Structures are given as C-alpha cells and as structure tokens.
Structure 1
C-alpha cells in the first residue's frame, strides 16, 4: 500500500505572504502525511499547517532560520515511510556549499540510502549530491526570492518514490 506525502517549506506567513494558497492547502489535506522543511515564520502559520495535516502526529517539521526561537521543533528530523528513510532539515547559510552541507547532514542522520528534504533556498530541486538524493520543495507561498509557488507530493510504494513538483 502506498503512502502520499505533501512536502512544503518556506511558507513565511505573515512576513512575506498573507496565507498559504488554497491549492497548496488542498494537497496538504489530501496527503497521508505532511513534511514542512522550516520557515513557517509564525506560530499561527505552524498551527495552520498542523490543522491542515489533521494533527501534529501527521506532520514532520523542522525549525528554519526565520522561525521564532520559541518553536519546539528540531533542527533535523527523520521519517521512515515504507522502505524509505527521509531526513528533513531546513538548511542554512549561504548558497555556496549549501547542497553539500545538506547532503552531509542527510548521510550523518539517515545513512547513505536516506533521502534528504530541505528548504531555505526557495528554489525547487530534485538532485543527487555526493550520492544523496536531495529534494527541496521551494516556497509553498511563493515567498521572495521565489519566482513561483511550489511544493512536492511524494508517493512512497515500498522503496519506490514518485516525486511530483506542483507549481503555480
């Protein structure tokens, strides 16, 4: 039986966006589990994603560099779905070396076969770095510097992934 994940990041509500777009909310509600790779921006934005996910048990989330320091979220989280190990981290620092830093975190936290999910850059990506598959859903609100609103859905069936980028 397959599992569908909704993968979002960098919502930045309210500093850079008024709300999460309806089409993103619809995909979050429809998913079996939700991953948010940080930069909610506010407690209200976090609470909204928890509500859309159907509760905190259906959400794997990490803290981003813009999130309030009062957030009780980890810097890195692991999630096992079917036969796939995901490592979620926001990522940080400059663009130079960003992907290499994220790949190193994924290998350290999840092993060589883990799949990384990160945010921070506001640019969607699905690439291999140092042998690690890295997925970045971009910004789920199109927050600056993003040029569009993006997110992923991932269908996990055993060890197989079907990754779909949604954009508007």
Structure 2
C-alpha cells in the first residue's frame, strides 16, 4: 500500500492549492493521510474525490464544518500496520513516551501542528511521523510531505519530499485530475 502523508495545508490562507507534485503523489497513492489543519472544506472534498482511500482528522484551525466530518483521532489498519492520525501531540520533549502511552495498540502515529517534519520511534516500537507542511513551512527551510509503503505489518520506504519554494502557491484546477509536475 502506497501512502501519502500531509498536514497543515491551511488552504486557502497559506496557498491557493496543493503543489502539483503533491497532487501527482495523491493520484498514485493507495491511501492519503491528512493530519489536520485543512481550514477549508473544499480541499477535503477534492481529496475524497481524488483519493482511493482517505484517512484524516481535524486540527485546531478547522472550523465546525470540518469538525463535523472529521474525527479528532482517525484510526485505520493499512497493510497490516495499525495507524492513528491526530493533529497535536504536545511539546517535542517527552513526545515519544507520551504518545506510546496514549496509543498503546498503534504501530504508526501520524501527527501535524508544528509544521516541522518528524520521524522517531518510541519505546515499544511506535513510529511517529510528522510530514511538515506542503504550503506553510514557517521556520523550516522547505515545504514538505511524506510518502511510505505499508505491507505485511511493516512500514518501509519512508521518504520526506521537499517541495520547490514556488510550488506551494501553484494552482491546480479541480477538473485537472492527478496533475503531473512540469
């Protein structure tokens, strides 16, 4: 199962649309994961229409319309990997232990909020991934998202993708399907 992980898209506040490279990855993915802070329901509608499967939660910047459609914590089994998706995990200090205690029957926790890419393993084996943000890098040098493969209960090929600076403001028409980078 090919996964695309994103968070903190903040559309249309930070960009008009997702970068073309990310839309291309979405078109090729078996599962798209979004860890909250969508801001606009339109992106949820587009990802539901373009994704084979969407696993997503709401974030602290998401209003009532998004909260009505998305849980605070999403859970799914993907390729034998037990996954949870949550927007906020608290401060970086102590994150692994805190999350391992909160999600004891989980292999993979995808989270957002900080806009800072994160990849670590907690005591007991819980993998924690934050894809950063494809549209609002804040103090980070790049806009980012993650891809991975889940099969036979294992998560492999975890790759952080850095997006070109101008890609974050690119526009993809809703009818364009899985756009390819030029």
Find the aligned partners of 1:91 and 1:23 in 2 and give their Cα distance: 26
Q: Tell me the residue number matched to 2:162.
A: 167
RCO comparison, higher one (Cα < 8 Å, 6+): 2
Matches within 5 A, 1:38-53: 38-53=36-51
1:63 maps to 58
The change in CA–CA distance for 1:155 and 1:93 in structure 2 (over 3 A counts) is: closer
SS in 1 for 2:64: coil
Q: What's the counterpart of residue 110 of structure 2?
A: 117
Is 2:136 aligned against 1:142? yes
- Aligned residues of 1:89 and 1:118 also touching (Cα < 8 A): yes
TM-score by length of 1: 0.84
Number of residue-to-residue matches in the alignment: 159
1:136 offset after TM fit, Å? 0.7
Gaps of 5+ in 1: none
Match of 2:81 in 1: 84
The 3 A distance-change label for structure 1 pair 103 and 147 is farther
Structure 2 residue aligned with 1:30, among 13, 28, 31? 28
Q: Is the 8 A contact 2:96 2:121 kept in 1?
A: no
Q: What do residues 128-156 of structure 1 show as CA deviations (whole Å, max 9, x unaligned)?
A: 23432101111122343443111111111
Query: Are the aligned partners of 1:9 and 1:139 in contact in 2 as well (CA < 8 Å)?
Result: yes
> What's the TM-score once normalised by structure 2's chain length?
0.78
